[in-house]
Chains A and B, each alone.
Chain A
């Protein structure tokens, strides 16, 4: 057999396809690149016309993101001792002083807590349920599975009405626990669905051998199945995490402060009198960057997961 194959595209069509795809990829990156650039502009540069591609980078956006500032009069400003930190200096140049930290840190932390909390819970519950669906004959299993998946068809706003009432009654509004439970409930359908696929692929013989060796079901599950499913669990976890990280509708309706996550918060960042785009861009960059790095680093699992979750059925 020669290496030539009819299904192998010609070098020319490869080159052509590659050029087009790269072109598209570059265009698609422009908005993201622009977000990141804007984070390093000063507020006047960010709203200049024509839009500035080259500019003197500034940390003002990041400083504004993490602080609250007050405008003070010229006399009061002159009376202050000279700024002792670089960020204080940036703020002083706008005739302002730093009044304290902003809420961004807290909101980011809420995103981390709720994101990881709900992912952990979804994975624990999802793995157990997926294992049971995969290995035991459960009555009406197919219907149950379909039911689990169909819960994702509800518009979040529609679900939010009764959840709002329920949470108000139970005191779960604006709490971390409430949000973790809610995101778990939303994520678990996808988690069960994906994980069942991964566990189905692990041959039963392994466990049966373990059972014969005197393992209990739990031990077999824990010592044989879990290690085998580790990759699948990891990629499912990333999906759950990304969903919880990005979720907006529930967060904006059910949280107001204590448990508010970053997505409802970032669009509401404003400067002292007027919109502060660099600060918004800085917040967006810090928030989006982890997901981008994750995506590039774990692309093999992620891309497989997306198609797998959708195509299997």
Chain B
């Protein structure tokens, strides 16, 4: 089965190589999440349409439904998408269940080298099993969870004085998670220009992946590990380490003392809304949104600045981002591969960054102009240097749903203790790995 797929792909790539851009015109559908970078990709893809003669259409699904809808589509063998920019955690399932076309032969035939892309992104978005040179995607969009804040508020003398009085420190970008919380608590409930404002918008969403993505932003800097030894599935003492418990308690305290009222089920959209409506001093969100935030007429420009998720015991940011894959059920794989070939071109990658997409190509990231090309570009490089991702196992959805439940039960619904939540999480995960035959 796997073998025959490989030969098909190499045959296909030969066909692509032979025909070049002169192949027949196809209607390609690219599926991704509905967010700012997706609009940039539409803009970018016009060039591909002009060059190749293929017609691009897009299916963008809002984040809360993205995983659900797309995994359902893949699992039902659907032909909606020819190209899919799937989330990093799907790579294991995509590869093992034959949803994604393996790209190695194609890369070789076209001279696309994974060495040209940032290591962290190749590892996270393209390879399965992790770290082996088996590629099922091309890194399309680097991303991590970061922070942004109201620079104008942080600069005001009255606020700075009040902060100094309250904490004995100067108000500035936090250097640790605990400073972050302190600043957020300082702003919580404060009157600014006649409006009550709150500390920070953080992720607490229950339905998809929100609260997990938020809480790992605290877990990783505290030194949280999924396993004692990588690949062993030995979680006791790692997942529920004292550091992990402390980090989890920290996140709950953050939720309870420094977020706006009603932030019980909030993710990307709510975080953006809270910030843009001037409700919060700080907010966490994916770097992907930063270009849009910077461009915002009300709270962007001079009023906003950005920082990397602060360290605590160590540096650590939650990984976002996606690779672009060819869907194995598509009838138009040749044209889809053509798209990937075009997309991997350094000139296109540079334009991708200019339009607001986060290229993972070294030609872009390592260019001397890059750190100054946007106010968050340097932060992005720093964040990507210390990213960690959730499990990327084929059973990732089961693992994620268990974590969503345990975290939301503890943090938002206030049930049990942090220790209990993590202990139960190990039980849930153990069950999953037992079913998988890995334990």
A interface with B by C-beta (< 8 Å): 47, 68-71, 73, 95, 99-100, 103, 164, 167-168, 173-174, 253-254, 256-258, 268-270, 272-275
| Contact (A68, B78) CB under 8 Å given A253-B72, A257-B59, A270-B62 | no
Question: Which residues on the A side are within 8 Å of B34 (C-beta)?
Answer: 268, 270
Question: What residues of A have a CB within 8 angstroms of the CB of B77 in the complex?
Answer: 168, 173
Q: A71-B295, A272-B292 known; 7 other A-B pairs, CB under 8 Å?
A: A47-B273, A168-B77, A254-B76, A268-B34, A268-B64, A272-B36, A273-B292
In angstroms, Cα B75 to Cα A173, docked, is 10
Known: A268-B62, A270-B34, A275-B269. A70 touches B39 (CB 8 A): yes
| CA–CA, A103 and B62, complex, Å | 13
CB of A274 within 8 A of CB of B69, answer no
CA distance A273 to B43 in the complex (A): 17
Which B residue's beta carbon lies closest to that of A276?
B269
Contact B295 A268 (CB under 8 A): no
Task: Verify A173–B76 contact, CB threshold 8 A.
Answer: yes
Is B132 engaged at the interface, CB distance under 8 Å to the other chain? no
Name A94's closest neighbour in chain B (CB-CB). B297
Expressed in whole angstroms, the minimum distance between the Cβ of B60 and any Cβ of chain A is 8
Q: Confirm or deny: B277 has a beta carbon within 8 angstroms of a beta carbon on chain A.
A: yes
**Nearest CB in chain A to that of B65: its residue:** A268
Q: Please name the residue on chain A nearest to B76 by beta carbon.
A: A173
Chain A nearest CB, measured from B170 CB (Å):
32
Residue among B69, B273, B289, B297 making CB contact with A256, cutoff 8 Å: B69
Q: Once bound together, how far apart are the Cα atoms of A274 and B34, in whole Å? A: 11
- Does B76 lie within 8 Å of A268, measured CB to CB? no
Contact flags (1/0) for B303-325 with A, using CB distance below 8 Å?
A: 00000000000000000000000
Question: Main SS of chain B's interface residues?
Answer: helix
Shortest C-beta distance, B263 to chain A (Å), equals: 14
A-B contact pairs, 14 of them (CB 8 A): A71-B295, A100-B42, A168-B75, A168-B76, A173-B78, A174-B76, A253-B72, A270-B62, A272-B39, A272-B292, A273-B36, A273-B292, A273-B296, A274-B276
Q: Which residues on A sit within 8 Å (CB–CB) of B292?
A: 71, 272-273
B-side residues, CB < 8 A to A, are: 29, 34-36, 39-40, 42-43, 59, 61-62, 64-65, 69-70, 72-73, 75-78, 80, 269-270, 272-273, 276-277, 289, 292-293, 295-297
Query: How many residue pairs, one in A and one in B, have C-beta atoms under 8 Å apart?
Result: 75
The residue of chain B having its C-beta at the shortest distance from the C-beta of A269 within the complex is: B62
Taking a contact as CB atoms under 8 Å apart, the answer to whether B269 and A274 are in contact is yes
Contact A167 B76 (CB under 8 A): yes
Q: CA–CA, A254 to B76, complex, Å? A: 9
Instruction: Provide the residues of chain B in CB contact with A99, threshold 8 Å.
Output: 39, 42-43
Alpha-carbon distance between A272 and B269 when the two chains are bound, in angstroms: 10
The answer to whether A268 and B36 touch across the interface, beta carbons within 8 angstroms, is no
CA distance A6 to B202 in the complex (A): 66
What residues of chain A lie closer than 8 Å to B76, measured between beta carbons? 164, 167-168, 173-174, 254, 256
Contact B39 A71, beta carbon cutoff 8 Å: yes
Q: Which residues of A contact B80 (CB under 8 A)?
A: 174, 256-258
Say which residue of B65, B295, B296 sits within 8 Å of A73 (CB atoms): B295
Given A70-B39, A70-B42, A273-B292, residue A174 in contact with residue B272 (CB < 8 A):
no
* Shortest beta-carbon contacts, A-B, top 3: A173-B76, A256-B73, A257-B80
Bound Cα distance A69, B40 (Å):
11
Chain A residues within an 8 Å CB radius of B61 = 268
- B146 CB, nearest partner CB in chain A, Å: 16
- In the docked arrangement, what's the CA distance between A256 and B66, Å? 10
Report if A68-B69 is in contact (Cβ < 8 Å); known contacts: A173-B77, A258-B80: no
Q: Is the CB of B297 within 8 A of A274?
A: no
Distance between A157 CB and nearest chain B CB, rounded to angstroms: 13
* Residue in B36, B64, B73, B273 whose beta carbon sits within 8 Å of that of A71 in the complex: B36
CA distance A70 to B62 in the complex (A): 16
Q: Smallest distance from the beta carbon of B85 to chain A beta carbons, Å? A: 15
B43–A70 CB distance below 8 A: yes
Task: Give the Cβ gap from B30 to chain A, nearest Cβ, in Å.
Answer: 12
Residues of chain B within 8 A of A274, CB atoms compared: 269, 272-273, 276
Identity of the chain A residue whose Cβ is nearest the Cβ of B66 in the assembled complex: A268
Instruction: Compute how far the CA of A99 lies from the CA of B75 in the bound complex, rounded to whole angstroms.
Output: 31
**CA A95 – CA B300 in complex, angstroms?**
13
Cβ–Cβ < 8 Å partners of B296 in chain A: 273
| B59 and A68 contact, CB distance less than 8 A | no
A166 to chain B, nearest CB (A): 11
| Interchain CA distance A95-B298 in the complex, whole Å | 12
> How many angstroms from the CA of A257 to the CA of B75 in the assembled complex?
14
A47 to chain B: which residues have CB within 8 Å? 273, 277
In the bound complex, what is the Cα–Cα distance between A100 and B49 (angstroms)?
Answer: 15
| Min CB gap A135→B, angstroms | 42
B62 touches A256 (CB 8 A): no
* A96 vs B382: C-alpha distance when bound (angstroms): 31
Give chain B residues whose Cβ lies under 8 Å from the Cβ of A168: 75-77
Which residues on B sit within 8 Å (CB–CB) of A253?
A: 72
Measured CB to CB, the closest approach of chain B to A264, in angstroms, equals 8
Smallest CB–CB gap between A97 and chain B, Å? 10
* Contact A256:B295 (CB < 8 A) given known A270-B269, A273-B272: no
**What is the bound-complex CA distance between A62 and B67, given in angstroms?**
28
Compute how far the CA of A27 lies from the CA of B11 in the bound complex, rounded to whole angstroms: 67
Residues of B within 8 A of A256 (CB): 69-70, 72-73, 76, 78, 80
Interface centre among A168, A272, A274, by most chain B C-beta atoms within 10 angstroms, is: A274
Q: Are B62 and A68 in contact (CB under 8 A)?
A: no
- Separation of A199 and B354 alpha carbons in the complex (Å): 69
Distance (whole angstroms) from the CB of A73 to the closest CB of chain B = 7
Name the residue of chain A whose CB is nearest to the CB of B80: A257
Q: How far is the CA of A167 from the CA of B64 in the complex (A)?
A: 25
Q: Which residue of A lies closest to B42 (CB)?
A: A99
- A99–B34 Cα distance when bound, in Å, is 14
Bound Cα distance A100, B43 (Å): 11
Provide the residues of chain B in CB contact with A70, threshold 8 Å: 39-40, 42-43
On whether A68 and B72 interact (CB within 8 A), knowing A47-B277, A257-B59, A270-B62, the answer reads: no
Cα-based distance from A95 to B73 in the complex (angstroms): 35
